[in-house]
Amino acid sequence: MLIPSYFLVLQRFLLYEYQLLLYSDLMRATTNADQRSTATANLPSLDIELLRRTPGTEAESYIDLAPDTERLDAPVAGETIVNDANFSRLCQAVPGLREEDGFGVIAQRLGYRSQPIRHDYVSLTHLVDGSMLLITAHEVYVVEAGDFIAIPKQVPHVIAPIVRGGKGPAEWDLLFSDGIVQHLTQPFLQDAPMFPPAESACVHIPAAQARAMKSCTNRMVSAYRESGFRLDLAVFGAIMELCHAYNAAATQLGKVPEIQKRVQRIIDDNLADIDIDTIAQHLGYSAGYLSRRLKKETGRTVGSFILEARLDTAQQYLSHTDMSVARIAERIGYASVSYFYKAFSKRYHQTPLEYRAIFNDAQQSS
């Protein structure tokens, strides 16, 4: 009986060692991927400081970031847009990008507000760290670390990074020209990317809904580096995997429960004087039932929808009127201006007056 017992113990020991080895390899691979995901180095990038020292270059006419805020030449909502970014010319300015691939990744740390810009390619931007605002004519997107945002072709926008301690946010821009999009949408390929069509709204996917996208992006960027920034089969396969994750996340975000639509309509119609009891009364529910149902179907509270509607309206007033901050606070239902300042600054990472300055600078330069 001793020999079988000995072999049983040995078998269990070897099995344990094998499992431990696999676990160690997995953890090492995960750690390496995580380290790569937070690094903006070793990827093609625009050298903004170099362009700043050599004004007049062709690259200066289509880069996203402008070194000086006074160079904002037109409001986002205006008819004139200063910069038209072109994928072909971008490949000439950024070492590592290849026009024939129709795809590329650029790493940037944003230290300057952008000029109003539109481009002839789809940009899927992943914010690696920090925060920024992406402003279009109809929407302001607050993009936080871990978020993704798909920017369609020909959509005028301004990027306003939130700079803290002299350091702006870092982003990866995944660029898809018409050529690569056509390859990805071939009938025989599954999970063709459901990128937003030209001149449509951006698709903003928060970090909480983008975990699968982040993992796929890390693997794709790793393959892209290892290929020497070429679109080989490994990179193409990783892009297809990312498209699958993007489609799933975008589809889920597009499913708005009916109860949410009804609540939002009531809030919009009664913004200056609205609370959970008023909404429940309109719907014929008790406040408790409404709160539980909305939380179950959307994962959010009634208060969060009220706050979102008020601040969305506030930023519209700030960017398109000269109404005083106190008057805006009153019109959207805030009895205290200081409380409005606090709520606005928490969401947009700047005060109402700082936010308004973005648009004033643009209009004065136009």
Pick from 217, 194, 199: nearest CA to 105: 217
- Predicted confidence (pLDDT) per residue in 248-288, tens digit: 999 988 888 999 999 999 999 999 999 999 999 999 999 99
Q: What is the DSSP letter of 160?
A: E
Is pLDDT at 220 greater than 60 in this prediction? yes
Is the confidence at residue 107, as pLDDT, over 80?
yes
- pLDDT given at position 28: 43
Instruction: Please determine, looking at this structure, whether the domain spanning 48-254 carries the CATH number 2.60.120.280.
Output: yes
Confidence at residue 48, expressed as pLDDT on a 0 to 100 scale: 56
The listed range with the strongest mean pLDDT (10-24, 27-41, 278-292) is 278-292
What burial class does residue 346 get, using C-beta atoms within 10 Å of its C-beta: 0-12 exposed, 13-18 middle, 19+ buried?
Answer: exposed
pLDDT at 338: 95
Q: What pLDDT is recorded for position 206?
A: 94
Residue 161, beta-bridge partner list: 132
Between 5 and 113, the higher pLDDT residue:
113
Q: Could you tell me what percent of the chain has a pLDDT over 70?
A: 75
Q: Tell me, what's the pLDDT at 283?
A: 94
Which residues 6+ apart lie within 8 Å of 109 measured at CB?
A: 40, 167, 168, 169, 170, 171
Asked if 193 contacts 181 with a C-beta cutoff of 8 angstroms, the reply is yes
Is domain 258-365 annotated with CATH 3.30.420.40? no
Is residue 80 very low, low, confident or very high in pLDDT (cuts 50, 70, 90)? very low
- Is the pLDDT at 150 greater than 50, yes or no? yes
Domain regions of the chain by residue span: 1-38, 48-254, 258-365
pLDDT at 190: 65
CA-to-CA distance for 155 and 295, rounded, in angstroms?
34
- pLDDT at position 10 is 40
Please tell me which residue, 166 or 131, carries the higher pLDDT value.
131
142 pLDDT exceeds 80?
Answer: yes
- Rounded to an integer, what distance in angstroms lies between the CA atom of residue 189 and that of residue 168? 38
Beta-carbon count within 10 A of 143 CB: 26
- Cα 101 from chain centroid (whole Å): 24
Q: Is the pLDDT of residue 14 over 80?
A: no
Query: How far is Cα 282 from Cα 286, in angstroms, rounded to an integer?
Result: 10
pLDDT at position 153: 92
Residue linked to tokens 């050529």: 179
349: left (phi over 0), alpha (psi -120 to 50) or beta: left
Q: Which long-range contacts (CB under 8 A, 24 or more apart) does 96-101 make?
A: 96/43, 96/44, 96/229, 97/44, 97/175, 97/229, 98/229, 98/230, 98/231, 99/177, 101/180, 101/230, 101/231
Helix (H), strand (E) at residue 171: strand 170-176
Which ranges of the chain would DSSP assign to H, the alpha helix?
Answer: 2-38, 48-53, 87-93, 178-184, 211-226, 233-254, 258-269, 276-283, 287-298, 302-320, 325-331, 337-348, 352-365
Calculate what percentage of the chain has a pLDDT beyond 90.
Answer: 49
Contact 247, 196 (CB under 8 A): no
CB–CB of 97/106 below 8 Å? yes
Q: Is 288 helix (H, G, I), strand (E, B) or coil?
A: helix
3-class secondary structure per residue, 7-75: HHHHHHHHHHHHHHHHHHHHHHHHHHHHHHHHCCCCCCCCCHHHHHHCCCCHHHHCCCECCCHHHCCCC
Report which of residues 129 and 46 the model is more confident about: 129
Altogether, the residues listed in the chain come to a count of: 366
Q: What does the pLDDT average to over 101-124?
A: 87
